Structure 1
């Protein structure tokens, strides 16, 4: 705590986190409204749990990391312990689903931070971009927050996949799915070598000279037309077909 004269108990911390979770799905325009006595927005469960002053003091002073042990390479070092705790909890019973997906998700945020992003034409345009590793029914096993581009032979997007898949104990027990933001021929080759089964849509410039018919040619064909190739060395199957748009999957 920043102020040693504030008396806080473990129960206060638990109540504070509970209110944060509650306000995550019961949204009001302003924080102070959660303690309002107005009949149309009154929430007794909040003001019976903690006063507004107690909540603000906790919010202002609470820290999740030791500032004397700063990791200058991690822009989220102040919340990293909490992220690690959550990921450990998500995986406490193991990763028990066969079909898994990796995708990006926006966490809404309009404050100031070097990692805050603006992505046009998205439902949530301002916030943090996060990587989500989840089951086919939506259960999240792991997540991380995007901090900026990093150098890697599989590029940033492939590096995300490789990092998240480290949590798997038995690669050949699972099937991984992702979209064309992540996938490439190099990444699929690497995952094959590591024993993973993977499927993803692929951008045209990432199929490494695969001789399927070009997008321009396929787009002129009738809907449902397709062309495919099979790479025997890495056992990668590439198919391109004409739908509303031309789609390539590997």
Structure 2
């Protein structure tokens, strides 16, 4: 089990590498739409649902709030409130007896699976079954494509040379993934492929691993399912198998800390896709949306789900509640107990809080003023600045905080706080808001890490965009497991994540490069690239000798005898490798034919 010191260092590494500009304390609302990795905008809207992704500050603003008509009693807090059958009181129902089950952790945080190499950590998520499925469907699609192409080319009078597909295997597929990761670590994922393969401008790893045309063909032909047997009613059919197999591996290898976060991730994409989302608050604005469940202490994705919009042309009801509960249910019961879930105003509801309590988990979130359970008195704009109104109903706590003058108050719903706590500072910040600010950014920082070093390349096919995102998540999770096992790995270096990705890329390409170094017939640039990476090339003669030693010697005619009588012998000359009889050879310690002896 991983100590808290190791988890603290992992968090510092991620924050130092990718989140230098991220402040856990909240400043004013960020309205910019910059494309930098550390910029996050306040609100997000979608085509089918509305979502927000923001921290709470004293400048937070909300809609559907109103000012009171009579200002005489505007600062007086009512003793009780009631809305939709829920009665709220000012008196907290603190119980000093036994601890609730929601406050007892049964599993300590840390890595569950021990890893010995970086590649082993990466393959815990992109398992062999996923790679085998990709190999199978890619080879089938490429063979079918070239067969149809050859039939069209040979349909006329003139016959052309057949084009054959070279079969893809696991070693080559892993090398392909290694090149993608290496390009992402060097911020060359959007660089022209021709420039990447130029050894005078870039790292020779690309040229040494595979040919430029082969890399382009793999990007073109890679598939994740059989199109002929695809379920057309399923929007996620092209990636269904690899997505579900990948999601099953996420919660198996790591136990989260006390707090987890649920939020959305928008992967940029502007191609043809029936469930592309529009979020004007995001830097990319258009893309494919993922729901993520992430740990707050370290950057680890525990569960994910791809949002595909309508199901059978039916709009999904109670989507926000169902998404959170589906993600949480992917964790085991012992892992769920005692942990707290933080989410933004799009998810927060009374039903979700009760559903998490049934799973022995607490929750904390900002409340949208449109929610039906929010009493109207809490939406009133108060004159008393920095005032906090606490209300309690069973294990639920509702807070209304006046953060700014002439602005609607901030409302939070919590099941992890059961008393009225306020910091003794200038703005009298409630503890609930402070805890929200400290636990909300899990998914946001994960998204920033991905944008800092991503394997995503420009593609018109949305399944490739999904696959690129899975590779990025697998690389971040693998680094977390690796640092849990080896907390002192490059502990004095900056940009530890870049070093990890470079080592992962080299480790994935090494088996394929070793196999290439044993082959002959490479171009001069390929040989120079392999030698610059430290691979020893086998001489051509040595390769022929190994081939002849491993091959079975067959009985053939002596090449020096006339056709009659034409002796058939099994003996072979050690120099020219032709079959020769004893009459035309001299044998001492080796067999040498007379023709070679004269030379």
TM class by shorter chain equals 0.7 to 0.9
For 1:44, the equivalent position in structure 2 comes to 204
Shift of 1:213: 2.9
Change (3 A) 1:71 1:31: farther
Give the whole-Å Cα distance in 2 for the aligned partners of 1:181 and 1:16: 39
Which of these residues, 358, 363, 381, is aligned with residue 198 of structure 1? 363
Report the secondary structure of 1:217's partner residue: coil
1:142 to 298, 303, 311: 303
* 1:13-162 equivalences in 2 (<5 Å): 13-25=173-185, 26-32=187-193, 33-37=195-199, 39=201, 42-136=202-296, 137-149=298-310, 155-162=318-325
Equivalent pair of 1:108/1:126 in contact (CA under 8 Å) = yes
TM-score by length of 2: 0.38
Alignment counterpart, residue 388 of structure 2, candidates 223, 226, 235: 226
d(CA) in 2 for partners of 1:159, 1:213 = 29
Runs (4 or more) in structure 1 with deviation over 6 Å come to none
| Mean Cα deviation higher: 25-34 or 105-114 | 25-34
Within the alignment, does 1:249 sit opposite 2:412 as a pair?
Answer: yes
SS of aligned partner of 1:204: coil
Match of 2:142 in 1: 3
Give me the whole-angstrom Cα distance separating, in 1, the residues matched to 2:191 and 2:364: 43
List runs of 5+ in structure 1 lacking aligned partners. none
User: In the alignment, is the contact (CA less than 8 A) between 1:101 and 1:133 conserved in 2?
Assistant: yes
**Whole-angstrom distance in 2 between the partners of 1:23 and 1:182:** 37
* 1:179 paired to 2:344: yes
Q: How many Å separate the matches in 2 of 1:160 and 1:122?
A: 21
Are 1:28 and 1:34, in contact at CA under 8 Å, matched by a contact in 2? no
Residues 212 and 227 in structure 1, CA contact (< 8 A), matched pair in contact too: no
- Contact map agreement 1:149 1:156 (CA 8 A) in 2: no
Deviations 1:136-165 (A, max 9, x none): 022111212211146555x11111101101
C-alpha distance in 2 between matches for 1:225 and 1:98: 29
1:122 aligned counterpart, secondary structure: coil
Q: Structure 1 pair 138/44, CA: closer, same or farther in 2 (3 Å)?
A: same
Where in structure 2 are there 5+ consecutive unaligned residues? 1-138, 144-163, 414-599
TM-score by length of 1: 0.85
Bigger drift between 118-127 and 19-28 goes to: 19-28
User: In structure 1, what is the Cα distance between the partners aligned to 2:332 and 2:344?
Assistant: 23
1:205 to partner: Cα distance? 1.7
Indicate whether 1:216 and 2:380 are aligned: yes
165-174 vs 195-204, which moves further: 165-174
CA–CA separation in structure 2 for the residues paired with 1:212 and 1:239:
13
Higher strand share: 1
Distance 1:24 1:88 in 2: 25
Higher helix share: 2
> For this pair of structures, how many residues does the alignment match?
242
- Decide whether aligned partners of structure 1 residues 205 and 247 sit closer, same or farther in structure 2, where only a CA change above 3 A counts: same
| Larger Rg, first or second structure (1 or 2) | 2
For residues 36 and 92 of structure 1, the distance between their equivalents in structure 2, rounded to whole angstroms, comes to 41
Mean Cα deviation higher: 131-140 or 59-68: 59-68
Kindly provide the CA deviation profile for residues 30-87 of structure 1, in whole angstroms up to 9, marking residues without a partner as x: 4423223453xx2322222222211111122121123354344532221222222332
Q: Find the aligned partners of 2:283 and 2:379 in 1 and give their Cα distance.
A: 29
d(CA) in 2 for partners of 1:191 and 1:239? 19
